[in-house]
A and B are shown apart, each in its own frame.
Chain A
Amino acid sequence: MSEAAIHHDDHHEHHPGFIQRWFFGTNHKDIGTLYLLFSLVMFFIGGAMAMVIRLELFQPGLQFVDPQFFNSMTTMHALVMIFGVVMPAAVGFANWMIPMMIGAPDMALPRLNNWSFWILPFAFTLLLVTLFLPGGGPAGGWTMYPPLMLQTGDAFPFVIFAVHFLGFSSVMGAINIIATVFNMRAPGMTFMKLPLFVWAWIITAFLLIASIPVLAGAVTMLLTDKYFGTSFFDAAGGGDPVMFQHIFWFFGHPEVYILILPAFGIVSQVIPTFSRKPLFGYESMVYATAAIAFMSFFVWAHHMFTVGMPLAGELFFMYATMSIAVPTGVKIFNWLATMWRGSLTFETPMLFAVAFVLLFSIGGFSGLMLGITPADFQYHDTYFVVAHFHYVLVTGAVFALFAGAYYWLPKWTGHMYNETLGKWHFWLSTISVNVLFFPQHFLGLAGMPRRIPDYAVQFTEWNMVSSIGGFVFGLSQLLFVVVVIQCIRGGAKATNQVWEGAHGLEWTLPSPPPAHTFTTPPKVTDSVAHS
């Protein structure tokens, strides 16, 4: 990257006003920032709901909330965390990093980019306002199973349209990412030289385009069942309530990988940097990611083994589910082989990435157990499932997002973050998150169903432990906000490369990069291609 080109950009950089820049702007870096900040705000909204849940479950009896409100908390917590936190954060990373990683000046479709972000605040306004409507928010679970979902009051159309808007936003984001990567790579940046994060996102984008319309179809059928007299899901009218579950999970399982593949991508960037060693098995990482994505369309019914499927169906979905462990294992082994005989240091991003590998694997093990159909007849809809998906989504997806945030914050802001606070954030989070979720395995195995506001007294002790872990985990996240604000405001000046072992085009740019980068394509040499 030539310094002259950057300098040249600086001369021509116009300085839009605040409103122009943050509301009408089309710069990928600004939109990336908007996505990330939005996600951070939603993280605390969804987190506050989780605190209500853990508070009510602290002891048996109903002390704080009505069961209906409790159910709307579990429902909204999931919708906010999935659609408002993990997905927008992943898109935020993509916006910031993909153009810089492939040597492009911006995203291919900048106006679409602005639009896909600005749909989000409106969609979440629609969703969150339902808490103040007569009858309260949606309380039928984020999976929206009919007929229960059809009993939702005035909140019903708000939820459906919020889901539609979120879907528009995601699909537009996905189209933009595919268009950018396919058309705007710098000369010499071939597909097999792309950083793993970019690969993970292309595959995620295809998953989004294939699965989100299915969700849109499912919720539209709910809407017509409720208001227009159809009976897609009403057995009394010739419909089938189980069909909704099949359609929903045909979206829902790929969605799981939409949440986790960008996380895989981030971890695949962070581990080589702090191991000072190239990523082990680059090709097999790409193929394993693609294989996981492809197979995710053939395992949906493992979410619904108890609905009463034919034996052949149960066997097929059990085998298909188990087989996903193979490519997932390949990824874990590749990360370990990358660390093996490296020269490791443990700055905060690496701590979160290593914790990701370990704790995500624990979620993977419980996932494998859940895939064993006969055992699932016991595990299904208990706290064992709650523990499983929080291990893969909190210590998995969210930890990888933290790893990515600490890794790239110096690049984005031009300042090093406060390493001591970062480490405090890591250790408090990692200890408390295990206190929070590990006992939930015990609760589930001992027979506590999920989505209940009150429980039999023999579950008290582990629920108390879990709640205490939850409160500490929730409070610990405030440290992250402090780190981010400090880092935006100032701190030690970050170098271009930031980390000793970092390789890739984004590390050839100044920290922070000027508004417009790579207006002339960079030269892609082996040392800046995937390390």
Chain B
Amino acid sequence: MSIKSLSDRLARVAVLPLLLLSSAAMAGYEQLNMTQGVTPLSKDIYDLHMIIMWICVAIGVVVFGIMFWSIFYHRKSRGAVASQFHHSTKAEIAWTIIPILILVGMAIPATKVLIAMENTGDSEMSIKVTGYQWKWEYDYIDEGVSFFSTLDSASNQARQLRAGLDPNEVPNYLLDVDNPVVVPVDTKIRFLTTANDVIHAWWVPDLGWKRDAIPGFINESWAVIEEPGTYRGQCAELCGRDHGFMPIVLVAKEKDEYEKWLAEKKAEQEKTAEADREWSMDELMAKGEEVYGTNCAACHQANGEGVEGAFPSLTESDIIFGPKEDHVDVVLHGVDGTTMAAFGDQLSDAEIAAVVTYERNAWGNEMGDMVQPSEVNDLR
């Protein structure tokens, strides 16, 4: 953050006590409450939240009121003499029974909403959401469309340690991705959440819920989105170093626009599939740099030097300077017992060929050799 914007922010912190006097000074402080969201469930949850909160506030006013009455009027300095009572069966029964009744009153609407939330039947489409360290994969079941969604590059540059870039200048800082998940409105969508490495949690506040994505398990949730729009969320379960940097962007479109998007996406994926040709060194290096930035730089760093003790350097690595087949193997299958993931299922042959070529020839690594997509395919 620049000094200018920092001092602006600080000035606004300083005026906090004046907030009640000036609505202009409220800018930045107005986010106080849960979103009502855009699904019937999220609105029910918001209502439930507000009911329970106001009940708590009411109880608090009564209980703290009694307490402050005591604090003001039963002070020794006001000449109060202590009475010595220490028991009252009636009072004790009252303050056991009344809370029970209030709790039952809260439990009834909560139970209704919960039962509705768990009813994933009659869904019209299903999207499988898979969490990876640190990105999401969306798989449109029955449509043959699937893609990865990672933090957009502007946010990614600004979020590096001491990057010197002002996050306020980045649109939707940390809440934007390269490929958003697109869904139709007014459709009961079933989300199937799972994960490939560690536990993540998929959370878009406007849908009203989050659900853990657990390796080896599939959780079901559902949403009917009523308003077209772009809804943003984040991973909500600590999942390692870049837990804070795997946002979710969900775009809800009118049904016909969604169909159009789906057709385009299908065509695009078929085109990538036929990329089974000889690539030139320049093509591989350009593609490789891009793939490296999205998938590898978080750990091995943009300069390839890694983080000592945690993530190995690629500028002085036996794997880089060894046979290229071994190098491809590590990228395809990962390394057991380390954070090095198997990228075989996440990246295409061309992407793996490109990134391996890039790693062998970037940052002063002068291996000079190339890997072709067909070679990767042979090693799978």
Q: Which residues of A contact B (CB under 8 A)?
A: 59-63, 65-68, 71, 133-136, 139-141, 145, 147-148, 151, 153-154, 234-236, 240-242, 275-282, 284, 306-308, 311, 314-315, 318-319, 322-323, 325-326, 329-330, 332-333, 336-346, 354, 357-358, 361-362, 365, 368-369, 372-375, 377-378, 380-382, 442, 445-447, 449, 451-462, 464-465, 468, 501
A/B interface sample: 24 pairs, CB < 8 A: A61-B159, A61-B167, A66-B161, A145-B238, A148-B239, A307-B212, A329-B96, A332-B63, A336-B63, A336-B67, A336-B70, A343-B74, A343-B82, A369-B53, A372-B49, A378-B208, A381-B203, A445-B32, A447-B205, A447-B233, A449-B235, A451-B238, A454-B174, A457-B167
Asked whether A354 lies within 8 Å of B71 as measured between CB atoms, the reply is: yes
Knowing A340-B74, A362-B60, A374-B110, the reply to whether A445 touches B215 (Cβ < 8 A) is: no
Asked whether A345 lies within 8 Å of B216 as measured between CB atoms, the reply is: no
Q: For chain B, residues 95 to 147, give those with C-beta under 8 angstroms from any C-beta of chain A.
A: 95-96, 99-100, 103, 106-107, 110-111, 113-115, 117-118
Knowing A61-B165, A66-B307, A318-B110, the reply to whether A461 touches B174 (Cβ < 8 A) is: no
Asked whether B159 lies within 8 Å of A454 as measured between CB atoms, the reply is: yes
Asked whether A148 lies within 8 Å of B199 as measured between CB atoms, the reply is: yes
Q: CB-nearest residue of chain A relative to B200?
A: A148
Q: Which of B9, B33, B74, B86 contacts A464 (CB 8 A)?
A: B9
Q: Which of B6, B45, B245, B310 contacts A135 (CB 8 A)?
A: B310
In whole angstroms, how far apart are the Cα atoms of A167 and B235 in the complex? 32
Asked whether B13 lies within 8 Å of A372 as measured between CB atoms, the reply is: no
Q: Which 8 interchain pairs have the tightest Cβ spacing?
A: A235-B216, A134-B309, A452-B244, A308-B219, A377-B209, A446-B31, A461-B28, A365-B56
B332 within 8 Å of A (CB atoms): no
In whole angstroms, how far apart are the Cα atoms of A319 and B100 in the complex? 11
Knowing A61-B165, A281-B86, the reply to whether A365 touches B244 (Cβ < 8 A) is: no
B104 to chain A, nearest CB (A): 9
SS class, residues of chain A in contact with chain B: helix
Knowing A277-B86, A442-B31, the reply to whether A71 touches B158 (Cβ < 8 A) is: no
In whole angstroms, how far apart are the Cα atoms of A461 and B11 in the complex? 10
In whole angstroms, how far apart are the Cα atoms of A341 and B69 in the complex? 10
In whole angstroms, how far apart are the Cα atoms of A140 and B240 in the complex? 7
Q: Which of B13, B96, B111, B339 contacts A326 (CB 8 A)?
A: B96
A99 to chain B, nearest CB (A): 26
Asked whether B238 lies within 8 Å of A281 as measured between CB atoms, the reply is: no
Q: CB-nearest residue of chain B relative to A61?
A: B167
- Over the window 176-215 of chain B, the binary record of Cβ atoms lying under 8 Å from chain A Cβ atoms (1 yes, 0 no) is 0000000000000000000001110101010011111011
In whole angstroms, how far apart are the Cα atoms of A276 and B84 in the complex? 9
In whole angstroms, how far apart are the Cα atoms of A282 and B80 in the complex? 23
In whole angstroms, how far apart are the Cα atoms of A482 and B66 in the complex? 35
In whole angstroms, how far apart are the Cα atoms of A199 and B307 in the complex? 52
In whole angstroms, how far apart are the Cα atoms of A368 and B106 in the complex? 10
Knowing A153-B309, A277-B83, A378-B210, the reply to whether A456 touches B60 (Cβ < 8 A) is: no
B18 within 8 Å of A (CB atoms): no
Residues of A within 8 A of B67 (CB): 336, 339, 354, 357-358
Q: For chain B, residues 146 to 174, give those with C-beta under 8 angstroms from any C-beta of chain A.
A: 158-163, 165-168, 172-174
Asked whether A62 lies within 8 Å of B80 as measured between CB atoms, the reply is: no
Residues of A within 8 A of B49 (CB): 369, 372, 375, 378
Asked whether B309 lies within 8 Å of A135 as measured between CB atoms, the reply is: yes
B274 within 8 Å of A (CB atoms): no
Residues of A within 8 A of B238 (CB): 71, 140-141, 145, 148, 451
Asked whether B16 lies within 8 Å of A62 as measured between CB atoms, the reply is: no
Interface centre among B48, B115, B211, B243 (most CB of A within 10 A): B243
Q: Which of A61, A280, A306, A368 contacts B201 (CB 8 A)?
A: A306
Q: CB-nearest residue of chain A relative to B204?
A: A447
In whole angstroms, how far apart are the Cα atoms of A377 and B223 in the complex? 13
In whole angstroms, how far apart are the Cα atoms of A23 and B158 in the complex? 52
Asked whether A147 lies within 8 Å of B86 as measured between CB atoms, the reply is: no
